[in-house]
Every structure is written in C-alpha cells, then in structure tokens.
C-alpha cells in the first residue's frame, strides 16, 4: 500500500483566499499544503482593487512594501464613446468615496489586480516554507473521526496520490468542489440573471489610454456598451453584458488600435 502524506491543513485553491490563508496559518505556526490545479499564478486581472482591510491583513503578514510596490492608485472609471476618443468623462473615482486616514494606516483602495497579488503572495508563501503545488487537483475525498483522506491528482503526469489532513479547506472559488461535495448550501440571491463575456486580446492598447493604464473605460455608443481595461502591458480585456441572447461587443477598428 502506498504511504499517505500527512499534513495538518490541506488548502484547495491558490487564488487570493488560499494563498492568504496559507500565509496566515504559517504565521500561527500551522503547516499547510496548498494545491492548485492551474499550472501557474493567474494572468487574468480579475479582482482589481484591494480594499484597506485586505491591505491591513497583508500589512499584518509583513507584506506592505511588496504589495505597495506591485500596486498603483485605485482604478477609476472613465466614459468614452470609443477607446480611441480623446474626449472622456470621469464616471467614478472610488478613492473619493471615503477618506480612510482616520481609521486605517492604509488607503481606502489600491489597484492591484489578482495577476499581481498572487505572485507576491506566492513568493512569500514559498519563502516561508509553505508547500505549494501547482498543476495539482483535488479529486475525491472522505472524512472520518481522525482525518480527511483526499485523492490528489498531479495534472502533469496524470498520477494520483493520497493526502491525509487534519483539516481540508475549500478555497476553490465560486464553483467549489469542496462545498458541493459536502453539500454546504449558499445563501443570498443565488445565480444572478446577469451574464458577461470577457475577451482578452493583445494590441498596443496602451497608446490609446496613456497615463490611464490602471483605469477602466466604459465604451458607450450606439453599437457597443462595455468596459475596457488593460490586463497587463499589451493585453487588453473587454467585457460586455449579454442580454436576451443578443451580444454587443466592443469593436476597436484596425485604425484605432495601433500595432494590432
Ligand atoms: C472574469 C472575472 C473577472 C472578475 N473581476 C473582478 C473585479 O473586477 N473585481 C473583483 O473584486 N472581483 C472580480 N472577480 C472575482 C474575483 O476574481 C473573485 O472574487 C476572487 O478571485 C475570489 O478569490 P478566491 O481565492 O476565493 O477564488 P479564486 O481566485 O477563484 O481561486 C480559486 C482557485 O481554486 C482552484 N481550484 C478550483 N477547483 C480546484 C480543485 N479541485 N483542485 C485544485 N484547485 C482548484 C482554481 O483553479 C482557482 O485558482 C472576477 C472574476 C472573474 C472570473
């Protein structure tokens, strides 16, 4: 019989929640194994702004300088008719909503997309001895009075092995296998009747939004209504709501996207 690995805590999912938890446990002297089915950190920006409470948690982990170096002032929202338009209107500056100075050493918000937060947290986790395994997926698991017994799959080789853990933590996102397996219900409104399509494309978008690289743009004209952001460098991302099966996508013209 193959020997089982034993860990105090098995964390499933290396998004912001799983990576942060691994560091918080390590700070308390609790070892964990963190498994992630992706092969690497997320390059999608996804969660873009960190609020002051999250910044305080990272401060408590001794990561203030790393997070501030990776981040920028909070992302604002501007309205333009087309991405190439020179006229724009500021629609939202979240920093102006509240002054956090009286109650926090951190600003209200910082622009630090998940594609930047995850590498900072991963570097810290590995440097502090957390056992982080990418390309590694949680398979079936059971629990008894003693421990959780989980099958873990190495996606690179297809081989699986068994990990025994005192605790299993499902940090595996919105469609959590851990939560579904344990039939843990959710509360609230359930699935919202709102659907969006996200498109990532590489072009010299930054020439059209120079000086506003961390901001978002609501593109609104008779053909299109959707948000555009720069994902990282020349990767741009557009997203639009899909309504009544009728999809309207931002369509930057070839002449308005230099280098495309
Ligand atoms: C396209 C998109 C845009 C978004 N934009 C914003 C935004 O602008 N602002 C904002 O605040 N939020 C945004 N979000 C939401 C934000 O990304 C989530 O709230 C946040 O990522 C939740 O963090 P998490 O760590 O709980 O989960 P996740 O970041 O989803 O991490 C869960 C991880 O678990 C892994 N995983 C799942 N199942 C398994 C398994 N069986 N074995 C191993 N690993 C597994 C997944 O690969 C994933 O990496 C966006 C999300 C998406 C998808």
Every domain of the chain and the residues it spans: 5-75+93-181, 195-256
The CB of 48 under 6 Å from ligand 1? The reply is yes
A 10 A CB-CB count for 111 gives 21
The span from the CA of 183 to the CA of 160, in Å, is 24
Distance 205 CA to ligand 1 centre (A): 25
Determine whether the shortest distance from the Cβ of 13 to ligand 1 is under 6 A. yes
CA of 175 to the centre of ligand 1 (A): 9
Other beta carbons less than 10 A from residue 255's beta carbon:
8
Q: What is the mean pLDDT of the chain?
A: 90
Nearest atom within ligand 1 for CA of residue 178: 41
- Taking the C-alpha atoms of residue 11 and residue 28, their distance in angstroms, rounded to an integer, is 15
Nearest CA to ligand 1 atom 4: 46
94 CB near ligand 1 (under 6 Å): no
Residues 5 and 3: their CA atoms lie apart, in Å, by 7
35 lines ligand 1 (CB under 6 A): yes
Helix-strand-coil split of the chain, %, nearest 5: 20, 35, 45
Mean pLDDT lowest among 53-57, 84-88, 248-252: 248-252
Q: What integer pLDDT is reported at residue 2 of this predicted model?
A: 63
Q: Which of 15, 38, 170, 226 most suits a substitution to test ligand 1, by most atoms within 8 Å of the C-beta?
A: 15
Per-residue pLDDT, 12:
98
CA of 7 to the centre of ligand 1 (A): 24
Atom of ligand 1 lying closest to residue 196 CA: 1
* C-beta of 17 in contact with ligand 1 (< 6 A): yes
Q: Separation of 43 CA from ligand 1 center, angstroms?
A: 12
pLDDT, tens digit, for every residue of 188-210?
988 888 888 888 889 888 889 99
Report DSSP state, residue 26: H
Cα dist. 39→21, 114, 128 in Å? 20, 15, 21
* CB of 18 shorter than 6 A to ligand 1: yes
CA distance 75 to 217: 10
The residues pairing with 241 across neighbouring beta strands, listed in sequence order, are: 196
Residue 153 pLDDT class (50, 70, 90 cuts): very high
For residue 87, the model assigns a pLDDT of 96
Q: In CATH, what number does 5-75+93-181 get?
A: 3.50.50.60
| pLDDT score of 183 more than 90 | yes
pTM summary value: 0.89
């Amino acid at each position: 019989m193959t020997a089982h690995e034993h860990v105090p805590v098995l964390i499933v999912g290396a998004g912001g929640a799983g990576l942060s938890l691994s560091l918080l446990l390590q700070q308390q002297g609790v070892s964990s194994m963190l498994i992630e089915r992706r092969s690497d950190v997320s390059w999608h920006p996804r969660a873009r702004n960190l609020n002051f409470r999250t910044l305080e948690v990272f401060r408590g982990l001794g990561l203030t300088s790393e997070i501030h170096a990776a981040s920028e002032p909070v992302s604002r929202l501007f309205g333009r008719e087309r991405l190439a338009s020179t006229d724009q209107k500021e629609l939202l500056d979240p920093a102006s909503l509240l002054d956090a100075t009286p109650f926090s050493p951190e600003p209200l918000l910082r622009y630090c997309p998940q594609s930047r937060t995850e590498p900072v947290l991963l570097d810290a986790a590995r440097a502090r001895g957390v056992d982080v395994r990418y390309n590694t997926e949680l398979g079936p698991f059971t629990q008894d009075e003693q421990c959780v017994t989980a099958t873990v799959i190495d996606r690179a080789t297809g081989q699986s092995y068994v990990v025994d853990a005192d605790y299993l933590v499902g940090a595996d996102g919105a469609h959590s296998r851990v939560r579904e397996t344990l039939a843990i219900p959710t509360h609230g409104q359930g699935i919202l009747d709102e659907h969006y399509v996200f498109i990532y494309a590489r072009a010299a978008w930054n020439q059209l939004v120079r000086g506003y690289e961390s901001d978002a743009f609501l593109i609104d004209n008779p053909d299109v209504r959707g948000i555009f952001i720069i994902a990282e460098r020349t990767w741009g991302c557009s997203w639009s709501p899909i309504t009544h099966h009728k999809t309207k996508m931002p369509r930057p013209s070839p002449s308005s996207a230099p280098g495309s």
